[in-house]
Amino acid sequence: MQYCRDPLTQNYKCLHGERGRILPTGTRDSTLEILVGEDGWVTHHENGILYSFDASKCMFSSGNFSEKLRIARLDCKDEVIVDLFAGIGYFVLPFLVRARARFVYACEWNPHALEALRHNLKINLVADRCHVLEGDSRMTAPKVANPARLLGQADVACDMMAVRGSRRRQVTSGVGGI
């Protein structure tokens, strides 16, 4: 059982679920059950970035912490980033908020993650530098002639961008690494 304090209302919420248990759906849905409180929305503060999401509908991967720190130290002020599997903004936000990327294209198909991603872009004051592309990234990935970084599983990302006609300088795997 996990108790979370909502930073806006100062009310506590009680969430219950098995840590790390994600439904094996294409959208990787959460199995947490709300025991106390009206909804599952929680806010996580990490490295100067706010991540808000409905924990009863979306997953949050704390295991990506070292990769997000690495991204935050990059200087991306003139770079265009493409994230093929954006989720709630795990990597989109560090690129925009800390690494100061010029622009990010964020592809996502989970409606709950999309809601959280759009909210997170607003509360972190970077929505003007991100275009959210809703749907399967195999269909929605932008034709960016030369994205500086492409986020996603390396093998899938390379195959997808070759089909979309893009050249890439660097592929960063969503599981930590370049």
- Host H or E run for residue 14: strand 12-16
176 within domain boundaries? no
Q: What is the pLDDT at residue 58?
A: 83
Does residue 143 register a pLDDT over 70? yes
Whether 60 is covered by a domain: the verdict is yes
Q: Are 52 and 14 in contact (CB under 8 A)?
A: no
Residue 52 included in any domain: yes
Model confidence at 116, pLDDT cuts 50, 70, 90, reads: very high
Which carries the bigger pLDDT value, residue 148 or residue 85?
Answer: 85
- Who has greater pLDDT, 172 or 143? 143
On whether residue 168 sits in a domain, the answer given is: no
Q: Which of 130-134, 149-153, 163-167 has the highest mean pLDDT?
A: 130-134
Assign 125 a pLDDT band (cuts: 50, 70, 90): very high
Q: pLDDT tens across 39-83, in order?
A: 888 888 899 999 999 988 887 777 778 888 888 999 999 899 999
Count of domains for the chain: 1
Starting at the earlier edge strand, list the strands of the sheet with 103-108.
Answer: 130-134, 103-108, 80-83, 149-151, 171-172
Domain that holds residue 37: 2-155
Residue 169 lies in a domain: no
pTM: 0.74
173 inside domain: no
Tell me the backbone φ, ψ of residue 153, rounded to 5 degrees.
-60, 125
Say whether 149 sits in a helix, a strand or coil. strand
What tokens were used for 12?
């506590």
In the three-class reduction of DSSP (H, G, I as helix; E, B as strand; rest coil), residue 98 is classed as: helix
CATH of the domain at 113: 3.40.50.150
Residue 162 lies in a domain: no
Categorize the per-residue pLDDT at 169 as very low, low, confident or very high, splitting at 50, 70 and 90.
Answer: very low
| Collapsed DSSP state (helix, strand, coil) of residue 66 | helix
For residue 12, tell me if it sits in a domain: yes
What confidence tier does 149 reach under pLDDT thresholds 50, 70, 90? low
